[in-house]
Structure 1
Amino acid sequence: MIDAEHLARLPARAENGLLHAFIECPKGNTHKIDLDKKLGIFRWAIELPQGLTFPANFGFIPATMAPDGDALDVMVLTGGPLPSGTLVDIRPVAVLRMEQEENGEMVRNDRLVGVPPLSQTFGEIERLDQLRPTMLWELGVFFEVYNRLINRKVEILEPGNEEDAAELAEKAIASKQDKNG
């Protein structure tokens, strides 16, 4: 089981200094899957429209708190899907900056973009400018369509680079530590 108690013991960083990413939705998945922390199981959330799939592995960084109050969302770039429940060490390389409507107002809900150094496809990428030029645009288009599906307005902003990604992670780690005192 992967319940709140187990998740609370997962650190944001691995011993090697890389960030831990916990995968909820595999790349290529046609269904949104969420971890139900109370039950300790994965819960089906929604089916995507035909032809729409997750463009990267989607999950969160444990032991973090983003400005929206949830753990920091992460898109993990690999050559193939990672199973739900996988913990993978990643290097932050970019930020998909976005605002989404919550209770009638637009709020930031950025996604960290990371790569596992051992990935044969993306492992050597260390900076935003090493990604193919359309990568962040494609991730943004996915979130625009996904949010339209659930009747939520979203605006994709200019992407952040690897320094912005590292700063986003550090702030989310510090926010969680501050909350836990």
Structure 2
Amino acid sequence: MPRSNVSGLVGNNMKVTPIFLLVIVSFLIVGCNETKKNKDYYHLPTYSKTEQIQAVVEIPAGTNHKIEYDKISRKFVVDSAEGKARIIDFLPYLGNYGFIPSTYSDPKKGGDGDALDVLILGENLATGSVVEIIPIAMLALSDQGESDNKIIAIPADEKYRIIKAANFDDFSTNYPEIRKMIGTWFENYDLNNEVKILRWTGENAAFAEIKKWQTQ
């Protein structure tokens, strides 16, 4: 920053020293880091500026570590059970798993009390990635007798896609084994819970589900 600009900020009578500048730079760096670390992913807009649905990645594809976003601390944390990190005792996640921001599945209306879950069939994406998606299906599950719907989506950006399916018909016709694998995975990934597949529905049902629980 030019000296003349800094002098304007601090006043003409205040002497700008190297120590003063160091303090200012340190403050700015810490401030930026805190902003990034405490980003409120939960209340990001459901739709991006280009009017695509957004998703927040909690668990990258290919891992069996269960990671969740804590909306209170605004941090991504590894889920734990009995004091130990929770590891999925089955195949790793078949896609990037996360949630659609600014959605809330209200228990009073039959929801599970969380943001709407989404499984993104695409290249591995890091935890904390915010990605534009295209919903192509919805998998309705019963988890311990409670409704638990999963949005199945592909990345809007073609460079992150791994399948050529633009809608539910494409997905069901050209990738029936992937659809079967996803259902099998959800039925077996958590041996402590009884999960049952209720039905598969298409992209229209997926969009309607997002709209139903959208809070913004």
Q: TM-score, normalised by structure 1?
A: 0.84
User: CA offset at residue 69 of structure 1?
Assistant: 1.6
For the pair 1:169 / 2:203, whether they are aligned, the reply is no
Q: Deviations along 1:96-149, whole A, 9 cap, x unmatched?
A: 110111xxxx1111000111121343575321121211222211211111221x
Structure number having the greater helix percentage: 2
Q: Which runs of 5+ in 1 are unaligned?
A: none
1:26 and 1:56 in contact (8 A); partners too: yes
SS of equivalent residue, structure 2 residue 135: strand
Is the Cα–Cα contact under 8 Å of residues 2 and 37 in structure 1 kept in the other structure? no
Counterpart check, 1:25 vs 2:25: no
Aligned-partner residue type, residue 183 of structure 2:
G
Aligned to 2:201: 160
Q: Which residue of 2 aligns with 1:92?
A: 135
Q: Which amino acid aligns with 1:135?
A: I
| TM-score (structure 2 length as normaliser) | 0.71
Aligned partner of residue 89 in structure 1, secondary structure = strand
Shift of residue 8, structure 1, vs aligned partner = 4.9
The answer to whether 1:136 aligns with 2:179 is: yes
- Amino acid of the residue matched to residue 75 of structure 1? L
Cα distance change on mapping 1:83 and 1:8 into 2, 3 Å? closer
1:70 equivalent in alignment to 2:114: yes
- Matched residues, percent identical? 30
C-alpha distance in 2 between matches for 1:145 and 1:17: 35
Question: Contact 1:92–1:112 at 8 Å: present in 2 too?
Answer: yes
Runs of 4+ in 1 over 6 A off after TM superposition: none
Go from structure 1 to structure 2 and tell me whether the alpha carbon gap of 1:135 and 1:11 turns closer, same or farther (over 3 Å shift). same
Distance 2:103 2:54 in 1: 10
Work out which of the two has the higher radius of gyration on C-alpha atoms and give 1 or 2: 2
Conservation of the 8 A alpha-carbon contact between 1:94 and 1:128:
yes
Aligned-residue Cα RMSD (Å) equals 1.8
Structure possessing the higher relative contact order (Cα contacts under 8 Å, 6 or more residues apart) = 1
Paired residues, what number? 166
1:170 is matched by which residue type in structure 2? Answer: K
